[in-house]
Amino acid sequence: MANQGAKKRKEENTRHMTKLLRIIIICNVIYVLVRMIIFHSSITWKHFVGLIVTSVAYVVPYKQLASMAKPSYADDGELLDGGFDMGTGGVCGYLHDVIYITCFVQLMSILSGKFWYTYLLVIFVDLIYLYEHDTCT
């Protein structure tokens, strides 16, 4: 009974990471189907670069979240910790934001290439956050 919380967290993290992976796969499939197959006549090398950029923007935070959600076990195989709580803010919340914003940018870039400027907005918000939380002054 002592490990019920850890087991519950492990199951929640597994469901959550599966949901994130499905979101990433669905966004990529929609982008490839619509942008690269249906609108193939207007595709340029920039669209392939965009696919690579969004793929990297998916993989890096997903891998970080997966390592945070990974449970830890004792030497005898007993579950010690169910992994990090994916519902908390901080770095975990920021990584989720990167994935969700990347989904938005990828899907909306099917309609217009100007949606790529959304990534600049993310950088601008990060700079404001760093400025407001500067501990050196």
**Residue ranges with strand state E in 40-136:** 72-73, 79-81
pLDDT band at 1 (very low <50, low <70, confident <90, very high): very low
The pair of three-digit structure tokens given for residue 110, joined into one six-digit string: 């099917």
| pLDDT per position as a tens digit, 107-117 | 999 988 888 88
- Radius of gyration, alpha carbons of the chain: 19
Q: What is the pTM of this model?
A: 0.83
Rounded CA-CA distance 89/111 in Å is 32
The residue count for the chain: 137
Q: What pLDDT is stored for residue 53 in this prediction? A: 87
Secondary structure percentages of the chain, helix, strand, coil, to 5: 75, 5, 25
